[in-house]
Amino acid sequence: MNNNALTRLDALNRALIGFDTMFDTMERRFSNSVGNNYPPHNILKTGENQYEIQIAVTGFEKSEISVQVESNILTVVGEGEESVRHENPEIVYLHRGLATRDFVREFPLAEHIEVTGAEIKNGMLIVKLIRNIPDSAKPRVIDIVQVS
């Protein structure tokens, strides 16, 4: 997005009072997606209301990864020390195709999406989500009575 478009977006944001969270969400999604494909990830629908986010975390220890949810934003952080991962000074990389750099990856969550757990399996961090719509938000049928 160029500076001219950002200026127009800022002006529109100021003009539409009450829509600020929508614009914040759009800005987060845009900044999180452009030029940032690390670490690679998949988003799957595994059932009618079940989802998974699979993130490639090869080279990271469990203790180097954190998963947290705040204000409908799922944040996955990978922070490791290169020296801890490769303690043997005699090892020399002839080719290094596996990236192990630190990362912060954010996923905006839709309303009523809850994180139910996370696990690491075969170098993949799997974050499980479920859509739990409360009864008050579900559509309901209203009985029509006939008045004479």
pLDDT tens digits in sequence order for the chain, 148 residues long: 556 655 665 665 555 555 555 556 656 555 555 456 889 999 999 998 999 999 999 889 899 999 999 989 999 999 976 545 556 778 887 887 877 789 999 999 988 899 999 999 999 999 999 998 888 888 889 999 999 8
Tell the burial category of 13 from Cβ atoms under 10 Å away from its Cβ (0-12, 13-18, 19+). middle
For residue 129, give the nearest of 48, 71, 37 by alpha carbon: 48
Amino acid (1-letter code) at residue 91: I
CB distance 67 to 107 below 8 Å: no
Alpha-carbon gap, residue 68 to 75, rounded angstroms: 5
Label the pairing between strands 124-131 and 113-121: antiparallel
For residue 103, give the nearest of 125, 71, 129, 130 by alpha carbon: 125
